[in-house]
Structure 1
Amino acid sequence: MLEQILEFIANHWVLSSIWAILLLLLLKTESGRGGSSISNQEATQLINKQDAKIIDLRNRDDFQSGHLPNAINIPAKDMQTRMSELSAYKDEHLILVCKTGTTASASGTVLAKEGFNKLHKLKGGMMDWKANNLPVVKGK
Protein backbone atom coordinates (compact mmCIF):
# COMPACT_ATOMS: atom_id res chain seq x y z
CA MET A 1 0.00 0.00 0.00
CA LEU A 2 2.81 2.41 0.89
CA GLU A 3 4.43 1.68 -2.47
CA GLN A 4 1.21 2.66 -4.24
CA ILE A 5 1.00 5.92 -2.33
CA LEU A 6 4.60 6.78 -3.13
CA GLU A 7 4.07 5.87 -6.79
CA PHE A 8 0.97 8.11 -6.91
CA ILE A 9 2.92 10.99 -5.36
CA ALA A 10 5.76 10.52 -7.84
CA ASN A 11 3.41 10.38 -10.82
CA HIS A 12 1.20 13.22 -9.65
CA TRP A 13 3.61 15.48 -7.80
CA VAL A 14 1.75 18.70 -8.64
CA LEU A 15 -1.55 17.35 -7.34
CA SER A 16 0.19 15.91 -4.27
CA SER A 17 1.93 19.23 -3.58
CA ILE A 18 -1.34 21.15 -3.79
CA TRP A 19 -2.98 18.64 -1.43
CA ALA A 20 -0.10 18.99 1.08
CA ILE A 21 -0.27 22.80 0.98
CA LEU A 22 -4.05 22.76 1.49
CA LEU A 23 -3.65 20.34 4.41
CA LEU A 24 -1.06 22.60 6.05
CA LEU A 25 -3.28 25.66 5.57
CA LEU A 26 -6.24 23.81 7.08
CA LEU A 27 -4.17 22.76 10.11
CA LYS A 28 -2.89 26.31 10.58
CA THR A 29 -6.39 27.77 10.33
CA GLU A 30 -7.90 25.24 12.72
CA SER A 31 -5.14 25.65 15.30
CA GLY A 32 -5.77 29.40 15.48
CA ARG A 33 -9.54 29.09 15.62
CA GLY A 34 -11.02 30.24 18.89
CA GLY A 35 -7.85 31.84 20.22
CA SER A 36 -4.16 31.19 20.47
CA SER A 37 -2.82 28.05 22.10
CA ILE A 38 -0.71 28.76 25.16
CA SER A 39 1.48 26.63 27.39
CA ASN A 40 1.09 26.21 31.14
CA GLN A 41 3.90 28.71 31.68
CA GLU A 42 2.31 31.29 29.35
CA ALA A 43 -1.04 30.79 31.09
CA THR A 44 0.57 31.36 34.48
CA GLN A 45 2.18 34.57 33.23
CA LEU A 46 -1.12 35.83 31.80
CA ILE A 47 -2.89 35.07 35.06
CA ASN A 48 -0.24 36.72 37.22
CA LYS A 49 0.64 39.73 35.06
CA GLN A 50 -2.52 40.43 33.05
CA ASP A 51 -5.13 39.14 35.54
CA ALA A 52 -6.45 36.73 32.91
CA LYS A 53 -9.73 35.01 33.68
CA ILE A 54 -9.94 31.24 33.47
CA ILE A 55 -13.02 29.66 31.92
CA ASP A 56 -13.25 25.93 32.65
CA LEU A 57 -15.36 24.31 29.94
CA ARG A 58 -15.70 20.89 31.55
CA ASN A 59 -18.84 19.57 33.20
CA ARG A 60 -19.53 20.33 36.86
CA ASP A 61 -18.30 16.97 38.19
CA ASP A 62 -14.96 17.25 36.38
CA PHE A 63 -14.64 20.86 37.55
CA GLN A 64 -15.23 19.90 41.19
CA SER A 65 -12.69 17.08 41.00
CA GLY A 66 -9.98 19.68 40.33
CA HIS A 67 -9.62 22.98 38.49
CA LEU A 68 -7.30 25.96 38.20
CA PRO A 69 -7.53 28.45 41.08
CA ASN A 70 -10.22 31.12 40.55
CA ALA A 71 -11.60 29.37 37.46
CA ILE A 72 -15.16 30.02 36.36
CA ASN A 73 -17.05 26.87 35.39
CA ILE A 74 -19.15 27.33 32.27
CA PRO A 75 -19.53 23.96 30.51
CA ALA A 76 -19.04 24.16 26.75
CA LYS A 77 -22.58 22.90 26.16
CA ASP A 78 -23.94 25.87 28.15
CA MET A 79 -21.78 28.55 26.52
CA GLN A 80 -24.56 30.15 24.46
CA THR A 81 -27.07 30.31 27.31
CA ARG A 82 -24.56 31.65 29.85
CA MET A 83 -22.87 34.22 27.62
CA SER A 84 -24.20 37.09 29.79
CA GLU A 85 -22.00 35.88 32.67
CA LEU A 86 -18.93 36.55 30.56
CA SER A 87 -19.89 39.94 29.13
CA ALA A 88 -17.97 41.74 31.91
CA TYR A 89 -14.77 40.06 30.67
CA LYS A 90 -15.12 40.98 26.99
CA ASP A 91 -11.96 43.13 26.94
CA GLU A 92 -9.91 40.92 29.25
CA HIS A 93 -7.67 37.94 28.55
CA LEU A 94 -9.67 34.71 28.79
CA ILE A 95 -7.98 31.33 29.11
CA LEU A 96 -10.24 28.51 27.95
CA VAL A 97 -9.59 25.20 29.67
CA CYS A 98 -11.03 21.82 28.73
CA LYS A 99 -9.98 18.28 29.59
CA THR A 100 -7.31 17.73 26.93
CA GLY A 101 -7.03 21.05 25.13
CA THR A 102 -8.83 19.87 22.03
CA THR A 103 -12.40 21.08 22.53
CA ALA A 104 -11.72 24.65 23.64
CA SER A 105 -11.58 25.83 20.01
CA ALA A 106 -15.32 25.48 19.47
CA SER A 107 -16.13 27.56 22.57
CA GLY A 108 -13.47 30.07 21.55
CA THR A 109 -15.12 30.44 18.16
CA VAL A 110 -18.48 31.15 19.83
CA LEU A 111 -16.85 33.78 22.07
CA ALA A 112 -14.97 35.35 19.16
CA LYS A 113 -18.25 35.79 17.28
CA GLU A 114 -19.59 37.64 20.34
CA GLY A 115 -16.69 40.12 20.25
CA PHE A 116 -14.20 38.55 22.66
CA ASN A 117 -10.78 39.12 21.15
CA LYS A 118 -8.26 38.15 23.84
CA LEU A 119 -8.87 34.42 23.79
CA HIS A 120 -6.34 31.73 24.66
CA LYS A 121 -6.62 27.93 24.80
CA LEU A 122 -4.59 25.97 27.34
CA LYS A 123 -2.47 23.39 25.47
CA GLY A 124 -3.07 19.94 26.85
CA GLY A 125 -5.94 21.18 29.01
CA MET A 126 -6.36 20.04 32.61
CA MET A 127 -4.65 16.72 31.93
CA ASP A 128 -1.38 18.48 31.09
CA TRP A 129 -1.83 21.00 33.92
CA LYS A 130 -2.22 18.18 36.47
CA ALA A 131 0.58 16.12 34.89
CA ASN A 132 2.94 19.04 35.55
CA ASN A 133 1.86 19.17 39.22
CA LEU A 134 0.54 22.70 38.93
CA PRO A 135 -1.92 24.05 41.55
CA VAL A 136 -5.40 22.57 41.48
CA VAL A 137 -8.40 23.47 43.64
CA LYS A 138 -11.00 20.80 44.45
CA GLY A 139 -14.67 21.44 45.12
CA LYS A 140 -16.50 24.66 44.41
Structure 2
Amino acid sequence: MEHKILFFIESQWPLLIGAVALIVMIFKGPLTRKVAGIQEVDPVAAVQLINHEDAVIIDVREQNEWSRGHLPGARHIPLGDLPKYMQDLEKHRGHHVICQCASGMRSARAAASLKKAGFDKIYSLKGGISAWQSAGLPVEK
Protein backbone atom coordinates (compact mmCIF):
# COMPACT_ATOMS: atom_id res chain seq x y z
CA MET A 1 0.00 0.00 0.00
CA GLU A 2 2.78 2.44 0.92
CA HIS A 3 4.48 1.73 -2.40
CA LYS A 4 1.29 2.60 -4.34
CA ILE A 5 0.95 5.93 -2.52
CA LEU A 6 4.58 6.87 -3.26
CA PHE A 7 4.14 5.84 -6.90
CA PHE A 8 1.02 8.03 -7.15
CA ILE A 9 2.83 11.04 -5.65
CA GLU A 10 5.85 10.56 -7.92
CA SER A 11 3.75 10.17 -11.06
CA GLN A 12 1.52 13.16 -10.23
CA TRP A 13 4.33 15.44 -8.95
CA PRO A 14 4.05 18.06 -11.75
CA LEU A 15 0.29 18.21 -11.32
CA LEU A 16 0.60 18.61 -7.55
CA ILE A 17 3.17 21.39 -7.91
CA GLY A 18 0.91 23.18 -10.40
CA ALA A 19 -2.09 22.88 -8.07
CA VAL A 20 -0.12 24.30 -5.15
CA ALA A 21 1.14 27.19 -7.31
CA LEU A 22 -2.42 27.93 -8.46
CA ILE A 23 -3.71 27.96 -4.87
CA VAL A 24 -0.93 30.34 -3.82
CA MET A 25 -1.73 32.68 -6.73
CA ILE A 26 -5.43 32.68 -5.92
CA PHE A 27 -4.94 33.50 -2.24
CA LYS A 28 -2.10 35.95 -2.72
CA GLY A 29 -3.93 37.97 -5.37
CA PRO A 30 -1.93 39.51 -8.20
CA LEU A 31 -2.08 43.13 -7.05
CA THR A 32 1.32 43.86 -8.55
CA ARG A 33 3.52 42.27 -11.16
CA LYS A 34 6.65 43.19 -13.10
CA VAL A 35 6.56 43.61 -16.84
CA ALA A 36 9.86 44.36 -18.58
CA GLY A 37 11.33 45.36 -15.23
CA ILE A 38 8.51 47.80 -14.44
CA GLN A 39 6.21 47.11 -11.53
CA GLU A 40 2.55 47.15 -12.58
CA VAL A 41 -0.22 47.83 -10.10
CA ASP A 42 -3.88 47.13 -10.60
CA PRO A 43 -6.44 49.78 -9.58
CA VAL A 44 -6.90 48.29 -6.08
CA ALA A 45 -3.16 48.40 -5.37
CA ALA A 46 -2.98 51.91 -6.85
CA VAL A 47 -5.69 53.12 -4.46
CA GLN A 48 -3.76 51.59 -1.56
CA LEU A 49 -0.58 53.39 -2.65
CA ILE A 50 -2.48 56.66 -3.07
CA ASN A 51 -4.25 56.42 0.29
CA HIS A 52 -1.48 54.93 2.44
CA GLU A 53 1.75 56.00 0.73
CA ASP A 54 0.67 59.39 -0.69
CA ALA A 55 1.57 58.20 -4.19
CA VAL A 56 1.95 60.74 -6.99
CA ILE A 57 -0.04 60.02 -10.16
CA ILE A 58 1.32 61.08 -13.54
CA ASP A 59 -1.11 60.89 -16.45
CA VAL A 60 0.94 60.60 -19.66
CA ARG A 61 -1.98 60.79 -22.11
CA GLU A 62 -2.50 63.58 -24.61
CA GLN A 63 -4.53 66.70 -23.76
CA ASN A 64 -7.71 65.53 -25.51
CA GLU A 65 -7.65 62.27 -23.52
CA TRP A 66 -6.93 64.09 -20.25
CA SER A 67 -9.88 66.44 -20.86
CA ARG A 68 -12.31 63.52 -21.07
CA GLY A 69 -11.45 62.55 -17.49
CA HIS A 70 -8.49 61.62 -15.33
CA LEU A 71 -7.67 60.15 -11.94
CA PRO A 72 -8.37 62.55 -9.07
CA GLY A 73 -5.25 64.47 -8.16
CA ALA A 74 -3.29 63.28 -11.19
CA ARG A 75 -0.63 65.46 -12.74
CA HIS A 76 -0.80 65.79 -16.53
CA ILE A 77 2.51 65.29 -18.35
CA PRO A 78 2.11 63.88 -21.88
CA LEU A 79 4.63 61.13 -22.60
CA GLY A 80 6.40 63.20 -25.24
CA ASP A 81 6.91 66.03 -22.73
CA LEU A 82 8.26 63.85 -19.92
CA PRO A 83 11.96 64.68 -20.54
CA LYS A 84 11.17 68.40 -20.09
CA TYR A 85 9.65 67.73 -16.66
CA MET A 86 12.35 65.44 -15.23
CA GLN A 87 13.97 68.19 -13.15
CA ASP A 88 10.58 69.25 -11.78
CA LEU A 89 9.78 65.62 -10.88
CA GLU A 90 12.97 65.31 -8.81
CA LYS A 91 11.05 66.45 -5.72
CA HIS A 92 9.03 63.21 -5.98
CA ARG A 93 12.06 60.90 -6.24
CA GLY A 94 11.49 59.38 -2.78
CA HIS A 95 7.74 59.00 -3.26
CA HIS A 96 5.73 56.24 -4.87
CA VAL A 97 4.93 57.38 -8.42
CA ILE A 98 2.19 55.78 -10.52
CA CYS A 99 2.26 56.45 -14.26
CA GLN A 100 -1.09 56.12 -15.99
CA CYS A 101 -2.39 56.25 -19.56
CA ALA A 102 -5.35 54.81 -21.46
CA SER A 103 -4.39 51.13 -21.40
CA GLY A 104 -0.96 50.78 -19.76
CA MET A 105 1.38 50.88 -22.75
CA ARG A 106 2.52 54.52 -22.61
CA SER A 107 2.58 54.49 -18.83
CA ALA A 108 5.00 51.54 -18.88
CA ARG A 109 7.30 53.55 -21.17
CA ALA A 110 7.06 56.57 -18.87
CA ALA A 111 7.76 54.39 -15.84
CA ALA A 112 10.80 52.93 -17.60
CA SER A 113 12.11 56.46 -18.29
CA LEU A 114 11.64 57.44 -14.65
CA LYS A 115 13.28 54.24 -13.45
CA LYS A 116 16.24 54.93 -15.73
CA ALA A 117 16.43 58.43 -14.21
CA GLY A 118 16.80 56.88 -10.75
CA PHE A 119 13.25 56.69 -9.42
CA ASP A 120 12.93 53.42 -7.51
CA LYS A 121 9.28 53.48 -6.35
CA ILE A 122 7.82 53.68 -9.82
CA TYR A 123 4.73 51.85 -11.10
CA SER A 124 2.56 51.61 -14.19
CA LEU A 125 -1.21 51.35 -13.75
CA LYS A 126 -2.13 48.01 -15.29
CA GLY A 127 -4.93 48.55 -17.80
CA GLY A 128 -4.72 52.34 -17.48
CA ILE A 129 -7.75 54.54 -16.92
CA SER A 130 -9.89 51.89 -18.63
CA ALA A 131 -9.19 49.44 -15.80
CA TRP A 132 -9.63 52.23 -13.25
CA GLN A 133 -13.10 53.07 -14.56
CA SER A 134 -14.04 49.39 -14.94
CA ALA A 135 -13.27 49.01 -11.23
CA GLY A 136 -15.86 51.74 -10.56
CA LEU A 137 -13.29 54.25 -9.34
CA PRO A 138 -13.85 58.00 -9.78
CA VAL A 139 -12.46 60.29 -12.44
CA GLU A 140 -12.52 64.06 -12.56
CA LYS A 141 -12.76 66.47 -15.48
- Kindly provide the CA deviation profile for residues 50-102 of structure 1, in whole angstroms up to 9, marking residues without a partner as x: 00000001011211210011000001111111212211101100001011012
Structure 1 CA distance, aligned partners of 2:96 and 2:122? Answer: 6
1:31 matched to which residue of 2? Answer: 35
> Residue type matched to 1:84 in 2?
Q
Partner of 1:54: helix, strand, or coil? strand
Structure 1 stretches of 4+ moved >2 Å: none
- Tell me, yes or no, if structure 1 residue 60 matches structure 2 residue 63: yes
* Distance in structure 2 (CA, Å) of the matches to 1:61 and 1:103: 15
Q: If the length of structure 1 is used for normalisation, what is the TM-score?
A: 0.73
Structure 1 unpaired stretches of 5+: 1-29
Secondary structure of the residue aligned to 2:64 is helix
Count of matched residue pairs: 108
Q: 2:136 aligns with which of 130, 133, 136?
A: 133
The higher radius of gyration belongs to: 2
In the other structure, the counterpart of 1:27 is none
- Alignment partners' CA distance in 2, 1:32 and 1:70: 27
Q: 1:132, CA displacement in angstroms?
A: 2.1
In structure 2, distance between residues paired with 1:67 and 1:85? 21
Deviation at 1:37, TM superposition (A): 0.6
Separation (CA, whole Å) in 2 of partners of 1:121 and 1:51:
16
TM-score for the superposition, normalised by structure 2: 0.72
In structure 1, the residue corresponding to 2:84 is in which secondary structure?
coil
Task: Write the letter of the residue equivalent to 1:133.
Answer: G
Unaligned runs of at least 5 residues, structure 2: 1-33
**Mapping 1:82-101, distance limit 5 Å:** 82-101=85-104
User: Which residue, out of 60, 69, 73, partners 1:70?
Assistant: 73
Aligned mates of 2:52, 2:71 — CA distance in 1? 16
Give the aligned CA root-mean-square deviation in angstroms: 1.3
Measured after TM superposition, the shift of residue 105 of structure 1 is 1.8
Percentage of identical aligned residues = 36
